[in-house]
Amino acid sequence: MSEQAYPDALQPQYRMHWYTIERVLGQGGFGITYLARDTNLDQLVAIKEYLPVEVASRRADATVRSRSEGQRERYRWGLDRFIQEARTLARFDHPNIVRVHSVFEHNGTAYMVMRFEEGDNLAALLERRSTLPERDLLRILLPILDGLELMHNAGFIHRDIKPDNIHIRADGSPVLLDFGSARHALGKAHTLTILVAPGYAPFEQYHSSSENQGPWSDIYGLGATCYRAIAGMPPMDAISRSKGILGSTREVLVPARNVGSGRYSAQLLAAIDHALEFVEKNRPQTVAEWRREILGETSAAGAAPAVADRSAAAASQQVTPPAPSPAAGQSAPSAVPPQPAIAAHQALPRADAPVARRGWSGARTPVAWSIAGAAAAAIAIAVFLWPPIDRDPEEKIRQIQKELERTKELLKERDTDAKTREKLLALLAEQEEAKRRQEDEARKRREEQEKQAQAKLRQEEEARKRREEQDKLAEAKRRQQEEARKRLEEKQRLAEARLRKEEEARKRLEEQQRLAEAARQAEEQRLALTQPPAGVRAPKRPPEAEKLAQGEAALARREYEKAYEILTPLAHGGNSRAQVRLAEMYAGGMGVSKNNNQAYIWYSLAAQGGSTTARTERDRIARLLQPAEVQQADTVVQNWRPR
């Protein structure tokens, strides 16, 4: 299930000590159960977090706090009870009771670490198979009774026994889950909060006080679970059964001995009916007593009539309606006392599994005795209302309606029933109001959870938009970086091309210098050959030629400053050879800053003087200049005059 289904839950991979949360297993009104991993032992565990949604909520920093200052004491009292009960339960090690490993405080609340049981719960099994044969049912029931008896002897009752809280391991063995004190941690003046499982909770659990609750309350839950396993549906909830006692509904609980007749043993069916008695004092009072009835170690068949006799005797003191005459061809009405049946009620908010500690003195309040008398009267009346199995349905309905009308008239005539009826009606009104309040609170919690889920969705949407915007910015930045890289590569390519051209120009210049040096040497040799004989004076070289030879010699020796100093006056004087040498120096950056404009101008001037080499180099340099630069240089050449 997605995390949005549990907006108050800790996020997956959240760490507490050496436990890592993996996912949510379930959530009730008083806590959240997680599947977690114990990283020390490398094994899965179940961790229950105390989080009563009625008075506390999760904060942004994962801590749990009371919703208001006035609820802080109730929250803290429940927290202390949660820790105390966890420590007590940890002392028990029974194969059919969930094992509690440890408890610790964290995030302003407490966590109960339990053994994680692989398998499936009984509710899912019954959903698939509808019913269970007696052998399979007893394989589940009897081990649970053993573990439950251990808990009862220690002073604890479960208060939430139902198929959902009975787990079937992979090997088929059962384990009773959801022992926890959180369900009775929030009532006023530290009393039990009324949170029940409809159909599986006895009537006394609808009280805000725990005085009438005891082992018989858990036995009712187990009896209802067995009823579900043999009937394919849960029994009627206790509120609807109480309405049947008052005569406000025609619905009755079909006894297990009728539902399972022919498919299950009589002693098992009688034990289930005994466990589902409406009045708590009429049920088995201990697990040991009920186990004997199930196994036939005492006469279960005799126990049920004894209960019926007690109920009939109590009823005879209040109402004694005449028995209806059976129609012709029909058998007499069955003497088996039926019980009110379950009406379909919306489930109350689920509570975490309850565990309460108390002594059971057997004391009953006057209201409980009144309810017992009313229940006994209803059972006696139902003797006359229960039709034979083969009775015509329409006749059956007419007969039931007729008898109900007669019963109502008799109840009106008897003043002794008025107080019982008033008390029971007041109790029912109180429970209906409590149920309404709980439904309102559940609705408000659902609305709050929906708001939180919507807020979380909005936050996720905003986060998604921010991520998309960041992705766009990152993509734009990446494109800019890519374009910058391409520009840099282009610059490097152009620089390399320029370096290659400069290297080529340098080589050409060196070659020209070499040729010039060779020409000079050849000229000197020629002049040496043409020297006049001894005693004859040789003609003097012209000064300009001598200067040019000195400048070229300095250039060959890379004495650039001296060469520039000698060649510049010659070039300005119109010497085309000196002009070529200056152009070479500007084109190659030898002794002067590289300047293609100056090189173009000197090559152009030398070309006007008839130098073929200068014309070729001028055209090459022109390709490196912009048209405007060439035009400007040509203007300088046209206007140039020798100095």
Tell me, what's the pLDDT at 393? Answer: 54
Which pLDDT score, from 0 to 100, does residue 505 have?
Answer: 82
Q: Is the predicted pLDDT of residue 177 greater than 60, yes or no?
A: yes
Q: Is the pLDDT of residue 540 over 60?
A: no
> Is residue 640 helix, strand or coil?
coil
Pairwise pLDDT comparison (523 vs 359), residue with the higher score:
523
pLDDT at 287 over 50: yes
Residue pair 314/376 in contact by the 8 Å Cβ criterion: yes
Q: Which residues contact 306 (CB under 8 A, 6 or more apart)?
A: none
pLDDT confidence of residue 515: 77
Residue 629 has pLDDT above 50, yes or no: yes
In this structure, the answer to whether residues 155 and 94 fall within a common structural domain is no
Contact 198, 347 (CB under 8 A): yes
Task: Note whether 194 and 301 are same-domain residues.
Answer: yes
- Alpha-carbon distance 331 to 396, whole Å? 13
Q: How far apart are CA 234 and CA 238, in angstroms?
A: 12
State residue 480 phi and psi, 5-degree precision: -60, -45
For 479, residues 6+ apart whose C-beta sits below 8 A from its C-beta are: none
Average confidence (pLDDT) over 143-154: 92
Identity of residue 56: A
For 331-381, the pLDDT digits (tens) are: 333 333 333 333 333 333 333 333 333 333 333 334 444 444 444 444 444
Same-domain check for residues 236 and 349: yes
Residue 73: give its domain's CATH number. Answer: 3.30.200.20
Question: 50 forms bridges with which residues in the sheet?
Answer: 31
Q: What is the pLDDT of residue 635?
A: 92
Mode of pairing for the β-strands spanning 109-115 and 64-66: unpaired
Q: How far from chain centre, in Å, is Cα 586?
A: 76
- Domain of 562: which CATH number? 1.25.40
Where residue 531 falls among pLDDT bands split at 50, 70, 90?
low
225 and 317 part of one domain: yes
**What strand order describes the sheet that includes 31-38?**
15-16, 19-28, 31-38, 43-50, 109-115, 100-106
Q: Are 259 and 365 in contact (CB under 8 A)?
A: no
Give me the mean pLDDT over the 613-623 stretch. 89
Residues 90 and 177 in one domain: no
List the single range of 456-465, 513-522, 541-550 with lowest mean pLDDT. 513-522
Residue 556 forms part of a structural domain: yes
* Residue 434 belongs to a domain: no
Q: How many angstroms from the chain centroid is the CA of residue 30?
A: 19
Nearest Cα neighbor of 404 from 291, 244, 258, 535 is 244
Percent of the chain at pLDDT > 70 equals 71
What are the tens digits of pLDDT across the range 13-45?
999 999 999 999 888 777 899 999 999 999 999
Judgement on whether residues 108 and 129 belong to the same structural domain of the protein? no
Q: Does 630 have pLDDT greater than 70?
A: yes
Q: What is the pLDDT, as a whole number, of residue 536?
A: 52
Higher per-residue pLDDT: 70 or 182: 70
Top mean pLDDT of 101-115, 394-408, 589-603 is at: 101-115
CA distance linking residue 226 with residue 285, whole number of Å: 18
What would the mean pLDDT of 252-256 be, rounded to a whole number? 86
SS3 state of residue 357: strand
Residue 364, Cα to own-chain centre: how many angstroms? 47
Same domain assignment for residues 242 and 255: yes
Residue 392's pLDDT is 53
- Per-residue model confidence (pLDDT) at position 375: 44
Whole-number Å distance between alpha carbons of 101 and 93: 10
Residue in the structure block whose two tokens are 């997956």? 12
Same domain, 69 and 162: no
Question: Rounded mean pLDDT of 568-580?
Answer: 89
Q: Is there a domain that residue 221 lies in?
A: yes
Model pLDDT for residues 223-240, shown as the tens digit of each residue: 999 999 999 999 988 888
210, pLDDT greater than 70: no
Domain for residue 475, yes or no?
no
Cα–Cα distance, 190 to 71 (Å, whole number): 13
Range of the domain at 620: 543-638
Statement: residue 91 has pLDDT above 70: yes
Instruction: Quote the mean pLDDT of the chain.
Output: 77
**Of the residues 68, 96, 115, the one at which a domain ends:** 115
Between CA 276 and CA 634 the distance in angstroms is 121
Amino acid 384: pLDDT: 38
Cβ atoms within 10 Å of 522's Cβ, excluding its own: 10
Residues 98 and 155 both lie in one domain? no
Q: Which residue has the higher pLDDT, 37 or 550?
A: 37
| Percent of the chain predicted with pLDDT > 90 | 37
Residue 519 within any structural domain of the chain: no
Distance CA 286, CA 215 (A): 6
Q: Which of 376, 393, 413 is the last residue of a domain?
A: 413
444-476 pLDDT per residue, tens: 888 888 888 888 889 989 999 999 999 999 999
Q: Number of structural domains, the chain? A: 3
| Angstrom distance (rounded) from CA 573 to CA 383 | 147
Residues 192 and 95 occupy one common structural domain: no
Q: So what's the pLDDT on residue 523?
A: 61
Contact (CB, 8 A) for 216 and 203: no
CATH number at residue 202: 1.10.510.10
Q: What is the pLDDT of residue 546?
A: 86
In this prediction, residue 535 carries a pLDDT of: 56
Hey, what are 610's tokens?
């008839």
Is 520 part of a structural domain of the chain?
no
Same domain as 403, residue 320: yes
Domain-located, residue 147: yes
Query: What is the DSSP code (8-state) at residue 164?
Result: G
179 and 63, same structural domain?
no
Q: Which of 379, 413, 447 is the last residue of a domain?
A: 413
Give domain status of residue 319, yes or no: yes
Q: Has residue 84 got a pLDDT over 80? A: yes
Average pLDDT (286-304) is 76
pLDDT, one tens digit per residue, over 480-493 is: 999 999 999 999 99
What confidence category does residue 189 fall into, taking pLDDT thresholds of 50, 70 and 90? very low
Residue 388 has pLDDT above 60, yes or no: no
pLDDT at 356: 36
